């Protein structure tokens, strides 16, 4: 390590006493960094990767939020190593999506910054009071209750991970309950409103042909925008009227594709995509042959929504809400809708049963003995 000297190991004698081979100071791979610990005389005593989830090896029982220096001279906090291992655990073991992991990373970064302001230097000394104060501070920032609740979930999962990996003796968050939130009713479009949006793309242009295919797919399948932007060509089965979708938790599901969506996708495939120099295997491409981003789809929908003059907040997820709502209004079974949406819990799907007051009345009148 440049400059020699001693790196404090924060009183963890187990690390000092372990023996291992020395490796070059610049050892680093694409997936993990190797830190060289210098003890006393400045000679390399141990080279070890960041904590291994599979083997259960951790850096130390007490995990301070102070920093150590890696072989390249870049400051790397022990907490960051833990965050990376935690997120790797969520990705590999739990199969969480990249967007979900990014949200957890942001939550934990704010949590760490708060604890540093509170002078909390050891994970063993983090208390329930620290966490409650953190949640209060998040509320003062003007965050909605749903965002604060998600932040608490991130914190609880992280502390549970610390306990599981024996970095701390007990889970300080085990006594904290997640708040019960009022569920917001989803915004959806009526069938006439949806039809008016689907008429907006100019199918005389390549862009319009693509946009119509994408909008038809969103409405026909109820897919999340992150799912539809990532879908590869080989997962579109136009002859069989199916799309194979990879959703949250890396779970695959087959979703039927209606005849109008099939026609729009076939038109796009034959007249537009087949003539492009694709830089990716994604089905929906931009002008330069690259895949579309979630933000692009969001802006595209906003544009067509403005053209219709519909006075509603319309996003890609509005199409998903409308898909579920219209199916239930027409008598679809809730379990079927759950499967189509890729919900692991039917309670998530039940939010859509709000919508059809008329549908509920008709069912009651048809089946209740005194209806």
Domain ranges for the chain: 13-77, 85-164, 191-367
CATH classification for the domain delimited by 191-367, as one of 3.20.20.70, 1.10.443.10, 3.30.1110.20, 3.40.50.720: 1.10.443.10
Structure tokens at 138: 């998040």
Q: What sign results for the dihedral spanned by CA atoms 248, 251, 256, 261?
A: positive
pLDDT for residue 202? 97
Q: Which residues contact 253 (CB under 8 A, 6 or more apart)?
A: 244, 245, 247, 339, 340, 342
Q: At what angle do helices 78-92 and 145-164 cross, to 10 degrees?
A: 100
pLDDT for residue 251? 84
Q: What are 187-193's contacts with CB under 8 Å, separation 24+? A: 187/312, 187/313, 187/314, 187/318, 187/321, 188/318, 188/321, 188/322, 188/324, 188/325, 188/326, 188/355, 189/310, 189/312, 189/314, 189/318, 189/319, 189/322, 191/326, 193/308, 193/310, 193/312
Rg of the chain, C-alpha, whole Å:
26
pLDDT-derived band at 72 (thresholds 50, 70, 90) equals: very low
Measured at the CA of 327, the angle between CA 269 and CA 312, to 5 degrees, comes to: 80
85-164 and 191-367 share one fold: no
Q: What is the mean pLDDT of residues 173-194?
A: 76
Q: What is the mean pLDDT of residues 30-56?
A: 34
Whether 219 sits among the annotated catalytic residues: the reply is no
pLDDT for residue 21? 34
pLDDT-derived band at 125 (thresholds 50, 70, 90) equals: confident
Does residue 227 surpass a pLDDT of 70? Answer: yes
Whether 187 sits among the annotated catalytic residues: the reply is no
Catalytic residue among 248, 266, 354, 359: 248
- C-beta of residue 197 within 8 angstroms of C-beta of residue 304: yes
Catalytic residue among 224, 282, 321, 326: 224
Catalytic residue among 32, 125, 343, 354: 343
Does residue 281 surpass a pLDDT of 60? Answer: yes
CATH classification for the domain delimited by 85-164, as one of 1.10.1760, 1.10.150, 1.10.3470, 1.20.1300: 1.10.150
Return the SS3 of 263: helix
Whether 294 sits among the annotated catalytic residues: the reply is no
H or E element in which residue 77 lies: strand 75-77
Instruction: Tell me how long the chain is.
Output: 371
Q: What is the mean pLDDT of residues 57-84?
A: 46
Distances (CA, A) of 363 to 163, 185, 198, 331, 367: 50, 21, 30, 9, 6
User: How much of the chain, in percent, has pLDDT values that exceed 70?
Assistant: 73
Give the range among 133-137, 152-156, 261-265, 343-347 with minimum mean pLDDT: 343-347
Catalytic residue among 104, 111, 268, 352: 352
Of residues 304, 289, 348, the one with CA closest to residue 195: 304
Q: Which residues contact 261 (CB under 8 A, 6 or more apart)?
A: 213, 216, 217, 219, 220, 221
pLDDT for residue 5? 40
CA distance 77 to 91: 21
Whether 320 sits among the annotated catalytic residues: the reply is yes
Structure tokens at 361: 């009345």
Catalytic residue among 130, 187, 244, 317: 317
DSSP 8-class letter at 290: P
């Amino acid at each position: 390590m440049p400059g020699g000297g001693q790196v404090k190991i924060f009183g963890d004698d187990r690390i000092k006493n372990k023996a291992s081979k020395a490796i070059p100071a610049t050892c680093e791979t694409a997936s993990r960094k190797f830190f060289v610990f210098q003890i006393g005389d400045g000679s390399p005593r141990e080279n070890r990767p960041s904590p291994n989830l599979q083997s259960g090896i951790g850096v130390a029982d007490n995990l301070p939020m102070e920093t150590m220096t890696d072989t390249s001279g870049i400051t790397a906090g022990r907490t960051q190593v833990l965050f990376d291992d935690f997120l790797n655990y969520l990705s590999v073991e739990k199969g969480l999506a990249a967007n979900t992991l990014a949200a957890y990373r942001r939550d934990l970064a704010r949590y760490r910054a708060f604890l540093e302001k509170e002078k909390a230097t050891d994970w063993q000394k983090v208390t329930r009071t620290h966490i409650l104060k953190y949640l209060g501070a998040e509320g003062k920032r003007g965050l909605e209750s749903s965002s604060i609740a998600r932040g608490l979930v991130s914190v609880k999962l992280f502390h549970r991970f610390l306990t599981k990996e024996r970095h701390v003796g007990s889970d300080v968050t085990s006594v904290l309950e997640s708040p019960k939130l009022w569920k917001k009713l989803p915004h959806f479009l009526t069938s006439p409103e949806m039809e008016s949006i689907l008429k907006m793309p100019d199918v005389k242009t390549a862009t319009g042909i693509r946009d119509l295919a994408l909008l038809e797919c969103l409405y026909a399948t109820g897919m999340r925008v992150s799912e539809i932007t990532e879908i590869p060509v080989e997962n579109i089965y136009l002859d069989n009227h199916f799309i194979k979708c990879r959703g949250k938790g890396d779970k695959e599901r087959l979703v039927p594709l209606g005849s109008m969506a099939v026609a729009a996708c076939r038109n796009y495939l034959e007249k537009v995509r087949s003539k492009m120099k694709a830089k990716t295997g994604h089905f929906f491409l931009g002008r330069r042959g690259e895949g579309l981003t979630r933000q692009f789809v969001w802006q595209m929908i906003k544009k067509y929504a403005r053209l219709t003059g519909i006075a509603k907040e319309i996003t890609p997820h509005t199409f998903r809400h409308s898909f579920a709502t219209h199916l239930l209004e027409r008598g679809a079974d809730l379990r079927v809708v759950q499967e189509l949406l890729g919900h692991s819990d039917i309670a998530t799907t039940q939010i859509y049963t709000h919508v059809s007051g008329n549908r509920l009345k008709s069912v009651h009148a048809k089946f209740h003995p005194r209806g």
